[in-house]
Amino acid sequence: MELARALSAGEPQAFERFVEHFRSKIFHYSWMMCGQRDDAEEVAQETLLKVFQNFDQLREPERVRAWIFRIAKNACLMQRRKSVFAPDHELSVEELPPGSEISDDGHLPDDQLQRSEVRAVLHQVITELPPIYRAVVLLRDIEELSTEETAQVLDLTTDTVKTRLHRARLAMRQKLDCYLHQHCIEVEPIASPAPLSEQAWNQLHAAWRNPVTSVTASREPKR
């Protein structure tokens, strides 16, 4: 990816552009997976810190998105375990109706909806999916990772990714049909990440410029 190559090459403003681009994506992924703005803000910062602390380990810049979302996934899992909002029970594959096969064409159920003013409805429909399906849809359909990259991020087989994606799209289509014909979905506004504070910017920049020092500092006990 061009942003990763630019950052590696030390191009001017590459750091700021990289942070702004990926922080927004990580925030929305984490908000939809963790369910709380504060959790999503924390996950986004923690993810970017780990990215900059370990950026020299990225051997293939074209795989930067999958690498970043794998870090975000792990950070989000840790945050959800600490959160009071974590669910007591998560649905398994068997708890959603199998339905009919849906083509794995890389698109969400209704292209017209994506292009219209009901983007917020689509967002709401995704957040109502069980987490195991939500994660696949976010990575495969929203971030447009390949099936193989999605499987790598989530530690799944490609067949499992395809199965979950099929069932998620079917569930989404049913909910979207319900909204279009009966307006049965309560839509909440889509959140955006708060502007980074100067301290947060400095923390990320220090991690980028001095990864070894920042890793050591992050591991020191807080006083």
- Tell me the CATH number at 215: 1.10.1740
- pLDDT greater at residue 150 or residue 116: 150
Considering the domain architecture, whether residues 139 and 165 belong to the same structural domain is answered as yes
Q: Which residues contact 34 (CB under 8 A, 6 or more apart)?
A: 40, 43, 76, 79, 80, 83, 85
The secondary element (H helix, E strand) that includes residue 79 is: helix 64-82
The candidate with the shortest Cα–Cα distance to 142, out of 85, 69, 55, is 69
* Average pLDDT of the residues of the chain: 80
Task: Grade residue 116 by pLDDT with cuts at 50, 70 and 90.
Answer: very low
Report pLDDT for 219: 46
Residue 90 lies in a domain: no
Distance in angstroms (rounded) separating the CA atoms of residues 173 and 180: 10
Give the pLDDT confidence of 154-165 residue by residue, as tens digits.
Answer: 999 999 999 999
Domain that holds residue 30: 2-85+198-219
- Tell me the CATH number at 131: 1.10.10.10
Residue 97: pLDDT over 60: no
How many distinct structural domains can be found in the chain?
Answer: 2
Considering the domain architecture, whether residues 10 and 81 belong to the same structural domain is answered as yes
- The mean pLDDT of 19-23, rounded to a whole number, is 95
The candidate with the shortest Cα–Cα distance to 183, out of 175, 195, 172, is 175
Q: Which two tokens stand for residue 119?
A: 């983007």
CA-based torsion, 183, 185, 186, 190: positive or negative: negative
Query: Do 40 and 61 form a contact (C-beta atoms < 8 A)?
Result: no
Considering the domain architecture, whether residues 77 and 42 belong to the same structural domain is answered as yes
pTM given for the model: 0.77
Distance in angstroms (rounded) separating the CA atoms of residues 14 and 75: 24
Residue 215: pLDDT over 60: no
Task: Grade residue 85 by pLDDT with cuts at 50, 70 and 90.
Answer: very low
Per the rule left: phi > 0, alpha: psi between -120 and 50, beta: everything else, 190 is: beta
Considering the domain architecture, whether residues 78 and 130 belong to the same structural domain is answered as no
Query: Do 173 and 101 form a contact (C-beta atoms < 8 A)?
Result: no
